[in-house]
Structure 1
Amino acid sequence: MAPWAATVLAALGTFQLGLAQGFFTPLENHPSLLQARLGLEAAQAQLRATQSPVSLQAQGGFSFFEVSPPPGPPTCPNPLNPQCINLPGDARQISLGLTFTPFPFGDVSDAVSQAAIGVEQAALGVRQARTQLEAQAVEAFLRVRLAESGLEVARLGVRLAQANLEAARLREGRGAASPSEVRQAEASLRQAALQQADAERNLALARQTLADLVGSGNATPPRLLVPGEGLPPQVQQAELQLANAQVAYDRALRGVLPVLQGSYTRNTSPNDALTLSINSRTLQPTLSYTNQSQGRSAPQDRINGTLQIGLSANIAFGVLDALEAAQKQLDAARQAVEAARRSSKLQEDLLRSSLQTAEQNLANALQARADAERALAEARERERLGLASPLATLQAELALAQARLGVEQAELNRTQRILDLYRFFALPLSEVNR
């Protein structure tokens, strides 16, 4: 091979690879894929929210009192007399708190786990949506090719019917054919014309379907590789449900355990206080500041700090039932995973068996096309030698077009069986066939 020829072939291969990779690009803006990606972004945002290391709480309240005047005289010689104390007309309380999450534990760990499971489910949904769209695009491309071959067959059928009609009319003029044979040839021509019109409509519809998915560019899909082993989405979903059941069981188990609580309050002034608290259920330290318009009075104003330790437990009999229910759900989820694995293995075997059948049918179609090509060459040679009429050659051309149509149909069937495996494993074609 000349150096320039090798350069041209290399450049052509690079160009075709670029077209194949660009075939799936327009699908990035498809509504179904955008919806799946937005769901994934929402799940990721929810996960970030549950993983926030600090959260702020603010609370405020106002009270207004309807106060009667004291029953004593206008002037009270003893200000300690309760009847001489003027009550305020309103009161307020403002609290600000900071909760820290140095590491997820307990209920916080459950929330993080569930949010992470949601992200995995959303990511799986994106992969399924992308795989489905890309498979539809490849099928639409092959259906266009099939419709083009069908139109070629229909046009050759019209040509053959026209030739038969002309031959019948010539025989009728010579008295070798009856008017019935001419009418039959005319009916065959009308039928062939209807089939051509139908083929043209099918081609237009196939092109429109392809354009709706990937536009009207000239990009072609890559040649598909048969996917190997993988983890089907059916099994992945079952495993995620098992993880959710495990989280529910852990939460129910903590509902049985007692909760230890501790807090320390430091009174910085009669109206202000700082509180640091923590509990054994989440291990989240909380620092809060409280301001009250009504300050502490004697002798409570002499208390500088308060340490509180408490223990709480839920001893209701329904808690044990809830724990048993969570255990049963966990066991059921484990069995669901095993059932999904067995079912997916059987389904995969069926899909691969169907692919083998499609490959055998494709091999037969290719052999039939090769036979039709040889038959056409022989017909042309016989026509050149004067041993056969042009009508026989036209019939051989139609047979070859039909054989090519059979190859396109077999190729589409084989590709669909491969795409079934991609859908089964949720494998985007653009990620595997690079």
Structure 2
Amino acid sequence: MLLAVLHPLHPGLAQGFFAPLENHPSILQARLGLEAAQAQLRATQSPVSLQAQGGVSFFDVTPPPGAPTCPNPINPQCANLPGDGRQISLGLTLTPFAFGDVSDAVNQAAIGVEQASLGLRQARTQLEAQAVEAALRVRLAESGLEAARLGQRLSQASLEATRVRESRGAASPSEVRQAEASLRQAAIQQADAERNLALARLSLADLIGQSSTALPRLAIPSQNTPPAVRQAELQLAQAQVAFDRAVRGVLPVVQGSYARNTSAHDSWSLSLNSRTLQPTLSYTSQSQGRSAPQDRIHGTLQIGLSANIAFGVVDALEAAQKQVEAARQAVEAARRSSKLQEELLRSLLHTAEQSLINAQQVRTDAERTFSEARERERLGLASPLATLQAELSLAQARLGIEQADLSRTQRLLDLYRFFALPLSEVNR
């Protein structure tokens, strides 16, 4: 089986490698979105809310016939005519438990928190996968540069050998030109490899800075709920909330309140309705006191019933029910599709693992060939050019290992992205 890449990550290694990503704008954006959703949920779950209201009224008073303009404190006919009025109301609403519309708001906010949390996990998984790929591309570029340098050395040695053969009449000028062209091509490939390495290092530094933390080893993730399925489940929950709200909208609402007048200017009231079951305690103070005979009323109990039935209510309820059923079918479809996609991703990973094993065998063979070439050169049975050719083949085999390892890791990262599993959480 495979190698070190299958072994669990040493504790703390993943955290050190991925730690710089926590300040990346994409993760910061997703985290702030989650914090906003959590704050919204806390707001809907608040057990107490306070309302305050105040106002002032100015009266345009018409005096009795023949009387001077009012208000006029000297004129006794104007003494009982106010020029203004003031009123202050304070209300305290309690939410002992979520019910009705309050429950809908809490459920909706909770769904928002789950969606934001899923978005953060997806953003973190995507960014951490990019960091691993960037680190592997640096290693691939380093191997590519090593092979390119050996290729240039081999082309230079081949050109020198061809020129020697030409001086002895054993090679034609055409062969010399071909050797020179091969050297120029090798130089171009080396320069291209150097640029690729610089770009790969720049890409990695953009993600995790100049950290020299070792590349983490990744374990194959186990089965989990894919985000596509979870999103469908959340949409089903939203559809159910909308249906419950539609049903509650056609139910009659019972309202009850009791008001107690403590003075001619002050009163207290307690109210409750069947839609939310939130008791509200209110206090009202007004500058204009109650006059007879209302001043003899000390308490008022009111019970009311209200209903809002429209002609299209049946169709509206049917539409909401159809939305729930459609969302339920979407969940089933997402599960089936995700299962097939997971099987495909695991199959591709298995193929990539086999390719990596084959690349390792190629490298082993190249190491033996290189060792044999050096021994033959030591014994005088082969030229240094043959040894250099074997060394280049070994470098190319190592490059093949890096390419196969990158391909295998990309297939593994596809599984992490598919499940929205942050690498820093799974590989602890």
TM range, smaller chain: over 0.9
Aligned equivalents of 1:19, 1:318: Cα separation in 2: 62
Q: What is the TM-score of this pair, normalised by structure 2?
A: 0.94
State the shift of 1:262 in Å: 0.1
1:31 to 17, 25, 29: 25
- Closer/same/farther in 2, CA of residues 178 and 273 from structure 1, 3 Å limit: same
Aligned equivalents of 2:298, 2:256: Cα separation in 1: 17
State the shift of 1:218 in Å: 1.4
Which 5+ residue runs of structure 2 have no aligned equivalent?
Answer: 1-8, 69-76
Does the CA contact (< 8 Å) of 1:70 and 1:86 recur in 2?
A: no
2:40 to 43, 46, 50: 46
Aligned equivalents of 2:170, 2:121: Cα separation in 1: 68
Aligned equivalents of 1:24, 1:150: Cα separation in 2: 26
Equivalent residue runs for 1:3-42 within 5 Å = 18-42=12-36
Structure-2 residue corresponding to 1:79: none
2:314 aligned with 1:303, yes or no? no
Structure-2 residue corresponding to 1:98: 92
1:380 to 354, 374, 397: 374
Q: Deviations over 1:136-158 (max 9, x none)?
A: 11111110000000000000000
2:161 to 157, 163, 167: 167
Does the CA contact (< 8 Å) of 1:43 and 1:115 recur in 2?
A: yes
Aligned equivalents of 1:286, 1:20: Cα separation in 2: 53
Structure-2 residue corresponding to 1:142: 136
2:383 aligned with 1:401, yes or no? no
Q: Deviations over 1:203-230 (max 9, x none)?
A: 0110111111111121123211111110
RMSD across aligned positions (CA):
1.7
Aligned equivalents of 2:290, 2:271: Cα separation in 1: 21
Secondary structure at the residue paired with 2:258? strand
1:112 is aligned with what amino acid? V
2:224 aligned with 1:230, yes or no? yes
2:103 to 105, 109, 114: 109
Identical-residue share of aligned pairs (%): 82
Deviates more, 1:220-229 or 1:351-360: 220-229
Structure-1 residue corresponding to 2:72: none
Deviates more, 1:402-411 or 1:15-24: 15-24
2:346 aligned with 1:352, yes or no? yes
1:104 is aligned with what amino acid? A
Aligned equivalents of 1:119, 1:265: Cα separation in 2: 40
Aligned equivalents of 1:73, 1:207: Cα separation in 2: 95
Aligned equivalents of 2:303, 2:420: Cα separation in 1: 53
Secondary structure at the residue paired with 1:104? coil
State the shift of 1:288 in Å: 0.5
Q: What is the TM-score of this pair, normalised by structure 1?
A: 0.93
Aligned equivalents of 1:19, 1:285: Cα separation in 2: 54
1:122 to 116, 121, 131: 116
- Closer/same/farther in 2, CA of residues 331 and 18 from structure 1, 3 Å limit: closer
- Pairs aligned (count): 414
1:249 to 243, 262, 266: 243
Q: Deviations over 1:223-280 (max 9, x none)?
A: 1111111000000000011111111111000011100000000011111110100000
State the shift of 1:431 in Å: 1.1
Structure-1 residue corresponding to 2:51: 57
Does the CA contact (< 8 Å) of 1:261 and 1:279 recur in 2?
A: yes
Secondary structure at the residue paired with 2:179? helix
Q: Deviations over 1:34-74 (max 9, x none)?
A: 11111111011001000101000011122212222221557
State the shift of 1:123 in Å: 0.8
2:337 aligned with 1:343, yes or no? yes
- Closer/same/farther in 2, CA of residues 173 and 340 from structure 1, 3 Å limit: same
